[in-house]
Amino acid sequence: MNNLIGAESHLPSETLDGVRISVLLNAGLNLESESAMRDMADGIGLYRTEIPFMLHDSFPSEQEQASRYRDVLNNFSGRPVCMRTLDIGGDKPLPYFPIVEDNPFLGWRGIRLTLDHPELFLAQLKAMLRASEGLDNLAIMLPMISSLAEVQAARRLLDQAWLEVSEELGRRGSSVRYPMLGAMIEVPSILYILPEMSPYVDFWSVGSNDLTQYLLAVDRNNSRVAGLYDPFHPAVIRVLQQVVQSAEQHGKSVSICGELAGDPLGVLILMAMGYRNFSMNLNNIARIKYVVRRIRVEDLPPLLEMGLQQSDSAAMKELFAGYLVRQG
């Protein structure tokens, strides 16, 4: 079975009824093995920039960052690479930047921290832009967005970074493309302001790990409440459905980059809702492609309808698991 799964990993991720699914990579940990996946993935849907920061003894310089980002963009040239700005805090501390808080997951995390330190944010944005000189595959994504003001502030800093880098490069006759800018949907507050936010972003990506954690008020890393952490909870499922509908209404592309995107049942349920872009860890790519190539998109919405009526995550999973077994 495993050999069978691996044997199809270089084939296109297309369903039996001809719907093309974008299978993207969550990257940041190991550039070598991630680059080896280049031909299997349609691009990088989430590059976690905090991981290389965590492997340093101090903040990497703009130059050091640019050189790493350049390798990533080059390795995936011709395919989209979505780099997320620094998402430290919460469960991802930097040894050289200690943060002491009672509730780190509700504290100084992601965009909150970088907007309070524009010098760090600007250096990172400029490094990304510099790295993308002559390439056209960079997109930038903002983590932990909870308000419109954060997106607007980040957009202004991106404008500034782009102007500064463009001016420098312009002096030697080169240029850099203004990148697509997206926001992560992982804090529930923004579910209610997607229409207002839509003019300020080019795309959205759902972080189902944090979205589940914050919707259900369950610490994603606390084993005592692990039984309550359920990305298939009817509330999470309904929210995910609203997000894809809202993105469609506003003409924005939406992807999903939490663990749910690497789970075969999760992917089927998300496809039933209309999601077509999935970003996952490299060890899930082969099996998700295998699953996608055995199903029909047109079969899925009735199963979702049935599952939603039962308001029970076990029943929802059973419906889709039964379908998968029937499809072989």
Residue 186 binding ligand PEP, by CB under 6 A? yes
Kindly state the smallest distance separating residue 207's Cβ from Mg ion, in Å: 4
- Residue closer to Mg ion by CB (options 47, 323) is 47
Could you tell me the smallest distance in angstroms from the CB atom of residue 19 to Mg ion? 28
By CB under 6 A, tell whether 277 contacts ligand PEP: no
Q: Where does this chain touch ligand PEP (CB under 6 A) — which range of 36-44, 125-133, 154-162, 205-213?
A: 205-213
What is the Cα–Cα distance from 245 to 231, expressed in whole angstroms?
Answer: 19
Helical pair 313-327 and 234-249, crossing angle rounded to 10 deg: 70
Q: Does 28 bind Mg ion (CB under 5 A)?
A: no
**Which residue, 83 or 295, is less far from Mg ion as judged by CB?**
83
Per CB under 6 A, contacts with ligand PEP among 73-102 are 87
CA 15/CA 295 separation, integer angstroms: 6
Amino acid at 250: H
Q: What are residue 43's phi and psi, to 5 degrees?
A: 150, -170
What is the nearest approach in angstroms of ligand PEP to the Cβ of residue 69? 17
**φ, ψ for residue 288, nearest 5 deg:** -70, -40
**Does residue 209 touch ligand PEP according to CB under 6 A?**
yes
Residue closer to ligand PEP by CB (options 75, 208) is: 208
Q: Which does 60 bind (CB under 5 to 8 A by kind): ligand PEP, Mg ion, none?
A: none
Asked if residue 257 binds ligand PEP (CB under 6 A), the reply is yes
Q: Which uninterrupted H or E stretch holds 236? A: helix 234-249
Place of tokens 């297309």: 14
Q: What angle do CA 220, 222, 227 make, to 5 degrees?
A: 80
Angle at 261 (CA atoms; ends 222, 194), nearest 5 degrees:
90
Q: Are 287 and 13 a contacting pair, CB within 8 Å?
A: no
Give whole-number Cα distances, 321 to 16, 19, 44, 307, 324, in Å: 18, 20, 28, 12, 5
For Mg ion, give the closer residue by CB, 142 or 286.
Answer: 142
Q: Which range of residues in 11-19, 66-74, 205-213, 264-272 is near Mg ion by CB under 5 A?
A: 205-213
Residue 257 binding: pick among ligand PEP, Mg ion, none (C-beta 5-8 Å cut-off by kind): ligand PEP
Q: Min. distance of Cβ 210 from Mg ion in angstroms? A: 4
Residue 207 interacts with Mg ion (CB under 5 A): yes or no: yes
> Closer CB to Mg ion, residue 34 or residue 186?
186
- Dihedrals φ, ψ of 281, to 5°? -65, 155
Provide the binding-site residues for Mg ion, judged by CB under 5 A: 186, 207, 210
Provide the binding-site residues for ligand PEP, judged by CB under 6 A: 46, 48, 87, 186, 207-210, 257-258
